[in-house]
Amino acid sequence: MENMLERVLQNQERSDTSMKNMTELVGSHTASIQNLELQMRDLSREQNPKQKGTLLSDTMVNPKEVKAKVEVPIVVEVERLPKKVRTQEVNHEEVKENVIEAPKNLAPIPRPPPPFAQRLARRVDDGKLEKFYDILKQFSVNIPFVEAFQEISRFAKYLKDLITKKRITKNEVVNVTHRVSSIIATTTVQKKEDPGAFTIPCTIGLHNFARALCDNGSSTNLMPLAIYKKAGLGMPRPTSMRLQMADRSIKRLVGIVDDVLVKVGKFLLPTIFVILDCVVDNEISIILGRPFLATKRAIMDSERNEIKF
């Protein structure tokens, strides 16, 4: 232990001496750097005796020997003469400029036709017709009655047409019945009321359904689970099909029943039903979709609310 302590003390003394030597070297270096800075300052002062922002105390007399000329102003008195009015004669001559004559045959400016041009034409014709009526009212002929009677027979047809086929000259409202114009009668379509849903009576087994909904927008034939159990149609086939209802909810089906005979009138149609566990509607219990309607090529008359098989 004593040997260890002695070694530690010796190492510490060595480190202290090395630190002292380092501090002495650093001090000597700083002193030498300061001396170098002083020497550089002295050298810069010797090379540049004039300092920035100051003037020399001793002026130098024309070092470049530049000769300057001094001009002395001379005053000379001059008599002022009256100013003569200068008149300039202007020759009133016509000056012909180079004018480029425009071509006589100019292309017409394209103008689009006015919309509903017949309205403008009608106003012009109406104005002419009014003037004609005014002139005709002021017209008078002094001839014997016998000659007038003989001439009237020639113009009878013209005067009759002029009186009976008198045109309307102002913008007036004309009462038109529904039989006057065939164009008005054909363009307007009579509005119909909602015919309602298409329902037909049908029979499945021993069960009669007074109203079965024929939905042309449904791709499946739907049967509630309660009606399926009453009809006794056998075991359903399992399926992974899902139905999206009107409220966007997803329903899982119980199964699918194949080849169910549906009697409509005197026809028996094989139908595939999907079975859904839902509440039975008393009025419309089953839904027949597009597959059922396509099987018998049903024709739907929306105006009469009829289905023809």
What is residue 13's predicted lDDT score, i.e. its pLDDT?
86
DSSP H/E element including 46: helix 2-47
Beta carbons of 198 and 305 less than 8 angstroms apart: yes
What is residue 54's predicted lDDT score, i.e. its pLDDT?
58
Answer yes or no: is 171 within a domain.
no
What is residue 95's predicted lDDT score, i.e. its pLDDT?
46
CATH number of the domain where residue 296 is located: 2.40.70.10
Q: Which domain covers residue 18, as residue numbers?
A: 1-39
Answer yes or no: is 144 within a domain.
no
Q: CB-hemisphere CA count at 13 Å for 72?
A: 2
Answer yes or no: is 231 within a domain.
yes
What is residue 172's predicted lDDT score, i.e. its pLDDT?
59
- Alpha-carbon distance of 132 to 125, in angstroms, equals 10
The residues pairing with 262 across neighbouring beta strands, listed in sequence order, are 204, 269
Closest CA to 308 of 293, 298, 294: 298
Full pLDDT tens readout for the chain, 309 residues:
778 888 888 888 888 888 888 888 888 888 888 888 888 888 877 776 555 555 655 566 666 666 655 555 555 555 555 554 454 554 544 444 555 666 667 778 888 887 777 666 666 566 777 887 788 777 776 777 667 666 666 667 766 766 666 555 555 555 655 555 555 555 566 777 777 778 888 888 888 888 888 888 788 888 898 888 888 888 888 888 888 888 888 888 889 998 888 888 888 888 889 998 888 888 888 888 888 888 878 788 777 777 777
Answer yes or no: is 74 within a domain.
no
Q: What is the pTM of this model?
A: 0.37
Answer yes or no: is 179 within a domain.
no
What is residue 59's predicted lDDT score, i.e. its pLDDT?
62
Answer yes or no: is 111 within a domain.
no
Answer yes or no: is 102 within a domain.
no
Domains of the chain: total: 2
SS3 152: helix
Answer yes or no: is 236 within a domain.
yes
- Alpha-carbon distance of 222 to 285, in angstroms, equals 9
What is residue 208's predicted lDDT score, i.e. its pLDDT?
86
What is residue 85's predicted lDDT score, i.e. its pLDDT?
46
Q: b/e string for 29-49 if b means 16 or more Cβ within 10 A?
A: eeeeeeeeeeeeeeeeeeeee
